[in-house]
Chain A
């Protein structure tokens, strides 16, 4: 590190930190969906990465559609794309719960295997429909470019947009889970399924919508992902392990824990990446996480519920 002046080092840290923030945003969006599904329902969704890819492909399709049919709407399509990604991934998630997951609630390890099978099928579908080449949507102009607070710091606008989107979604999830009557139903079902059913909550409906919501948020993650990288059939599977680490490390069922752990993991990885090779950065980050998890298996912020 001796080759850098102090000022250069600060700029590097700021910029790498911002790269980390883009990664953090996508990881957090993925992890929010996964934490809802895993934390609230105990279901391991190995196809979660594919739901993200589904959102990304939806955004891509919509951008192609807008460009050929309504080119004058190009600057605005991205907002519709976010909503469309949420809906498409959510609806597919809803159907998945109906066809697959609801039969396996009593066998959590088996949900892991069945959803892995689903992820294989979805990957091959992406490959059949979109080809194995990576695609990226035509982004509106206002998402391009970067903002320069000083001469040596470049902050990309798409990164800031994704951060803003993540913030909005996080608050929406918080409101939905902890401030709305529907969230109350979800949490009641998590804590005591039988009693919740007895007091008149339609627990099956709650399960289905929770799963759909989790998948829908993964779809939003996909839309956000298109602004920072291109999408291929196996994109989702690259992020799934990291996302699981975020959820497990943060302590399942803890919203704040998920945010903190996504931030820690993303920042650690992207700042280390500048100084050592990216593969070693990943190894070091994951290794540290495992060691921390061995000391504190319940994660950073465990929910204080007696099991």
Chain B
């Protein structure tokens, strides 16, 4: 039983060490070393890591690049924000409005009653369900429409990007229903528990970190299952898997839905920790930034992307505080460099160089494994990821 857990949820001994180090870092070192403001920032970054973990499943292993991951992050975030906003807009605190009891931005936009799709979000149970089910449902609809018709590769990327544009324009345009460009702000309590206090911020940070670790373990479980191997096979030679009698489109739909749900959990945690949700977190740019996190961390590494997300976001905050002009140069250059020279990101660099250092092998026997499973997998697929559809088309 213990062995099963280590092999399937942690990814073998090496995976267990890696996830242990990550847990140590985000559960012990960060809370001890950082003040609350910085810790809250780290918490915010870690919510983006959910989306990046989703992209490892979808893009790294499934070979499906979605440029609309922010859509699902936003769906989760908005669902949570709608619940919190309704709770913050009780009739007493909104008594000065024309219609007390509805969110303030609705009042400003001459709405006199709560729109029907806001009503269910008064229930906390419904909200929690919605955070998990809505993104899955939405991803399912898109997935069925796309993958059943064998739309893939570049087309899928562009269409998901257009969906991100549509959702952003819709939210910004329908100010009365959605809060517009400012988003849903001024959130206060969760079932009567004030989320703005220091203690609440600590608690939310730990919930978020534990959820992230849980999501990584579940993802590892999925990837080490037979399904995970099929997913990788599908990415490398889709037709061969199809001709072996598997329904490829259903696999793709499933992994798309799973990554959507994971992103949505991140979005909901973002709302809770940061205290607002706005269209600036679900458009084209944030969606591509999530891809950047995954690419820099290593698109094949569930743990690497967490470090990638943290690194990029620390860099972004640091750079934009000191040299705001250089940030985009740096980001663009980093992105080009990662894609061209380190397709497996930080995790690839680690596997290639750091894990081979002799002194580490002497002092940390756990790391001393001949060649880890993840490493061989990522090598195998980096050579095989060259066989994307368009390249095939050009060759044939």
Indicate whether A117 sits within 8 Å of B334 (C-beta atoms), given known contacts A104-B340, A109-B388, A123-B328. yes
CB atoms of A107 and B385 under 8 A apart: yes
What's the dominant secondary structure at chain B's contact region?
Answer: helix
A229: CB under 8 A from chain B?
A: no
CB atoms of A124 and B325 under 8 A apart: yes
B137: CB under 8 A from chain A?
A: no
CB atoms of B169 and A283 under 8 A apart: yes
B-contacting residues, A114-160, CB 8 Å: 114, 116-121, 123-124, 127-128
Indicate whether A279 sits within 8 Å of B169 (C-beta atoms), given known contacts A118-B332, A124-B332, A290-B162. yes
Indicate whether A294 sits within 8 Å of B146 (C-beta atoms), given known contacts A106-B386, A117-B335, A248-B158. yes
CB atoms of B161 and A244 under 8 A apart: yes
Determine the distance from Cα of A128 to Cα of B326 in the docked complex, in whole angstroms: 10
CB atoms of B396 and A307 under 8 A apart: yes
B312 → chain A, closest Cβ, in Å?
13
Q: How does the 8 Å CB contact mask read for B128-157 relative to A, with 1 for contact and 0 for none? A: 000000000000000001100111011101
Determine the distance from Cα of A127 to Cα of B326 in the docked complex, in whole angstroms: 11
A120 → chain B, closest Cβ, in Å?
3
A165: CB under 8 A from chain B?
A: no
B-contacting residues, A248-307, CB 8 Å: 248, 277, 279-280, 282-283, 286-287, 289-290, 293-294, 297, 307
Identify B335's interface contact among A114, A123, A283, A294, CB under 8 A: A114
B213: CB under 8 A from chain A?
A: no
CB atoms of B158 and A244 under 8 A apart: yes
CB atoms of A113 and B335 under 8 A apart: yes
B288 → chain A, closest Cβ, in Å?
6
Counting contact residues on chain A (CB < 8 A from B), the size range is 35 or more
A110 → chain B, closest Cβ, in Å?
5
B323 → chain A, closest Cβ, in Å?
11
Determine the distance from Cα of A237 to Cα of B288 in the docked complex, in whole angstroms: 13
Residue numbers in A under 8 Å from B53 (CB-CB)? none
B343: CB under 8 A from chain A?
A: yes
CB atoms of A193 and B336 under 8 A apart: no
CB atoms of A107 and B328 under 8 A apart: no
Identify the closest chain A residue to B341 (Cβ). A103
A53 → chain B, closest Cβ, in Å?
14
B253: CB under 8 A from chain A?
A: no
What's the dominant secondary structure at chain A's contact region?
Answer: helix
Indicate whether A42 sits within 8 Å of B393 (C-beta atoms), given known contacts A110-B339, A120-B335, A282-B169. yes
Identify the closest chain A residue to B340 (Cβ). A103
Determine the distance from Cα of A293 to Cα of B157 in the docked complex, in whole angstroms: 13
CB atoms of A297 and B155 under 8 A apart: yes
B261: CB under 8 A from chain A?
A: no
Determine the distance from Cα of A293 to Cα of B292 in the docked complex, in whole angstroms: 27
A-contacting residues, B380-396, CB 8 Å: 385-386, 388-396
CB atoms of A118 and B158 under 8 A apart: no
Residue numbers in A under 8 Å from B334 (CB-CB)? 117
A241: CB under 8 A from chain B?
A: yes
Identify A121's interface contact among B170, B328, B389, CB under 8 A: B328
A100: CB under 8 A from chain B?
A: yes
Indicate whether A114 sits within 8 Å of B173 (C-beta atoms), given known contacts A290-B163, A294-B146. no
Determine the distance from Cα of A291 to Cα of B325 in the docked complex, in whole angstroms: 40
Determine the distance from Cα of A190 to Cα of B390 in the docked complex, in whole angstroms: 11
B65: CB under 8 A from chain A?
A: yes
Residue numbers in B under 8 Å from A241 (CB-CB)? 161-162, 165, 284
Indicate whether A108 sits within 8 Å of B154 (C-beta atoms), given known contacts A113-B335, A194-B395, A280-B173. yes
Residue numbers in A under 8 Å from B149 (CB-CB)? 294, 297
CB atoms of B391 and A107 under 8 A apart: yes
Determine the distance from Cα of A130 to Cα of B154 in the docked complex, in whole angstroms: 33
CB atoms of A279 and B329 under 8 A apart: no
B291: CB under 8 A from chain A?
A: yes
B84: CB under 8 A from chain A?
A: no
B222 → chain A, closest Cβ, in Å?
22
Residue numbers in B under 8 Å from A192 (CB-CB)? 396
A-contacting residues, B274-297, CB 8 Å: 284, 288, 291-292, 295
Residue numbers in B under 8 Å from A293 (CB-CB)? 151, 155, 159
A188 → chain B, closest Cβ, in Å?
12
CB atoms of A279 and B173 under 8 A apart: yes
CB atoms of A193 and B158 under 8 A apart: no
B27 → chain A, closest Cβ, in Å?
32
Determine the distance from Cα of A108 to Cα of B325 in the docked complex, in whole angstroms: 30
Identify the closest chain A residue to B325 (Cβ). A128
Residues of chain B touching chain A, judged by Cβ–Cβ distance below 8 Å, are 65, 145-146, 149-151, 153-155, 157-159, 161-163, 165-166, 169-170, 172-173, 284, 288, 291-292, 295, 325, 328-329, 331-336, 339-340, 343, 385-386, 388-396
Supply 11 A–B pairs (Cβ within 8 Å), ascending by A: A41-B394, A42-B394, A109-B153, A113-B292, A121-B332, A124-B329, A244-B158, A245-B162, A279-B172, A282-B165, A290-B163
Residues of chain A touching chain B, judged by Cβ–Cβ distance below 8 Å, are 38, 41-42, 44, 100, 103-110, 112-114, 116-121, 123-124, 127-128, 190, 192-194, 237, 241, 244-245, 248, 277, 279-280, 282-283, 286-287, 289-290, 293-294, 297, 307
The 3 closest A-B pairs by CB, nearest first: A279-B173, A117-B335, A42-B390
User: Assuming A282-B166, A307-B392, what are 5 further A-B pairs, CB within 8 angstroms?
Assistant: A42-B391, A121-B332, A245-B162, A293-B155, A294-B151
